Chain A
Amino acid sequence: MMAFLTALHDSAVSTWIRESESVWAFPTVLTVHTLGMMLLVGCAWVMDLRLLGVARSIPIGPLRPLFRLMWAAFWINLVTGVLLFIADPERKATSLLFGFKMLLIIVNLPLLRRLERAVYGEGPEPAAVGRGTRQLAAASAALWAATIFTGRLLGYM
């Protein structure tokens, strides 16, 4: 495993992202990762706030495209996240903080799916927002906040 990580670390892609002086290397990958975060979590806040009872006059049905935006942003961040991992594989793979961040995301993704299905899964009209949906929204929002914190802290490890 360690040998693989070392080989990854020494690969051309990893070296370029990590060591290139070009602004298109590490800085741009990191900025696109931030852009994806802004879009993913920004849309998630709006959806979760509405489901938690803020601005109840917003009809829930037309909000559905927010989920498509969130998934698009998620894929952007998966790609840029993998690139950031490749740039620094040995330290990331052995970091408890990094593992914790991955855990938060792995728990949150099925929550996001379940939330989408709970609200929009039953026919053309959105389902009434029940207690279960509100709990899902609150849990998902808390996990996003925790993910941002751990992600941000990774920059200081």
Chain B
Amino acid sequence: MSSLITPGNLSHLHLLLNHFPTVGLTVAFALLVVSILSDTEAIKGDTMRPTALGVLFGIAVMTLPVFTTGLAAEGAIEKLPGISRDAMSAHENAALLAFVVLELTGAVAWWGLWRWRRTHRVPPSATILVFVMGAVSLGLMTVAASIGGGIRHPEILADPSTAGAQSVFSASAAAVGFFVNGRGHQWVWPTLESAHFVGMTLWFGVLLIANLRLMGFFTGIPYPSLHRLLPWALLGFGVNEVSGMMFYIATPKGYTTNVVFYWKLIFLLIAAADLLYLTVWPAAWKTEADTPTHFRERAIGWAALCSFVAVMYCGRMLPFLGNSF
């Protein structure tokens, strides 16, 4: 797979994936609006509302590889003739802002889903928050995408030289880079690493016992009681996403050309899918104490546990297996 990590492929990958936050977000937002306007109880409560939240969570997760391949694409094309550096850094800053808001939207959407599974109702506060934050994300993502399109197509920018001024939060990526790697900030990287490890043990511990129950271990525990722990797994993911993205934004070249990093992303997506599964899966919710488990849940559990270890393995091995640092 190392041979696939070529500049052309990295740009191509970014162009493929970047439709998730733009097109995907539009679809998720439309589902949410219909579920709000509908007067049919089934569409409101049981089907379309949770579906909209689930799709939103999925889009938020998929945006992680979109952002990371974006920096890889930057490294791949920055030396080509006719590329506007200004448009590129404006795109990066706009994308970073849109990414942060979308990730927060995804977290709220997940919370709404988690509550829905427990009470069979999405809390109105979650719906309102997701609606507002989703609309803001969609707007910011559109701005980011539009500036991004201008990198290779200057003809669609009114005035390419002013692209940099379009971003309200210009230089935010550079600010993150300075915070992590700047002079006098030697304490930041090791502290973030420590937080990254604490976050990892937190999400791993919670997802481990939840999956093990569905795999037929800890049979004395009713699954709905373990479901209560899941927000702690999301907290662990959050800590790791923030610390991980800070490493990445500060030192993109350490990751973008390393195949191990892409493996880590793939296993991370599987881990996130497992969190969604543990949150909403109907058979899981019906697993009371001493309820026997099904082959399907055992297979999902093994796949998930192997993916968690693979995420850690790829992360820990980044400096050794590839060409990261």
Interface residues of A (CB under 8 A from B): 23, 26-27, 30-31, 34-35, 37-39, 41-46, 49, 54-55, 57-59, 61-63, 65-66, 144-145, 148-149, 151-153, 155-156
Contact = CB atoms under 8 A, between A and B. Distances in A.
Contact of A55 (B201, B218, B228, B321): B228
A30 B321 CA distance: 13
Given A49-B232, A149-B194, A34 B221 contact: no
A39 B200 CA distance: 10
Contacts of B200: 38
A5 B324 CA distance: 32
B205 A59 contact: no
Contacts of A145: 198
B104 interface: no
A22 B205 CA distance: 31
Given A46-B205, A153-B190, A37 B197 contact: yes
29 contacts: A23-B321, A27-B320, A31-B312, A31-B313, A31-B316, A38-B201, A38-B309, A42-B201, A42-B205, A42-B206, A43-B209, A44-B205, A45-B205, A54-B228, A54-B232, A55-B226, A57-B222, A57-B224, A57-B225, A58-B221, A58-B225, A65-B218, A66-B209, A144-B201, A148-B197, A151-B197, A152-B193, A153-B190, A153-B194
Given A30-B316, A46-B229, A58-B226, A148 B218 contact: no
Contacts of B247: none
Interface residues of B, number: 34
B316 A34 contact: yes
Contact of A62 (B206, B218, B309): B218
B312 A42 contact: no
Interface of B: 189-190, 193-194, 197-198, 200-202, 204-206, 208-209, 217-222, 224-226, 228-229, 232, 289, 309, 312-313, 316-317, 320-321
A3 B71 CA distance: 50
User: Top 9 closest A-B pairs, CB basis?
Assistant: A42-B205, A62-B220, A55-B228, A27-B320, A57-B225, A41-B201, A58-B225, A152-B194, A42-B204
Contacts, number: 103
Given A41-B201, A46-B206, A59-B225, 19 more contacts: A27-B316, A30-B316, A37-B201, A38-B309, A42-B208, A43-B205, A43-B209, A45-B206, A46-B205, A49-B232, A55-B226, A57-B228, A58-B229, A59-B220, A62-B289, A65-B218, A148-B198, A152-B194, A156-B189
Contacts of A37: 197, 201
A134 B197 CA distance: 24
A38 B232 contact: no
A107 to B, nearest CB: 19
A144 B198 CA distance: 9
A13 to B, nearest CB: 19
A57 B227 CA distance: 10
A26 B313 CA distance: 14
B219 to A, nearest CB: 7
A58 B228 contact: yes
A151 B321 CA distance: 22
Contacts of A59: 220-222, 225, 289
B221 A63 contact: yes
| Residue from B200, B205, B228 with most neighbouring chain A CB atoms (10 Å) | B205
A46 B312 contact: no
B226 to A, nearest CB: 6
Contacts of A35: 309, 312-313
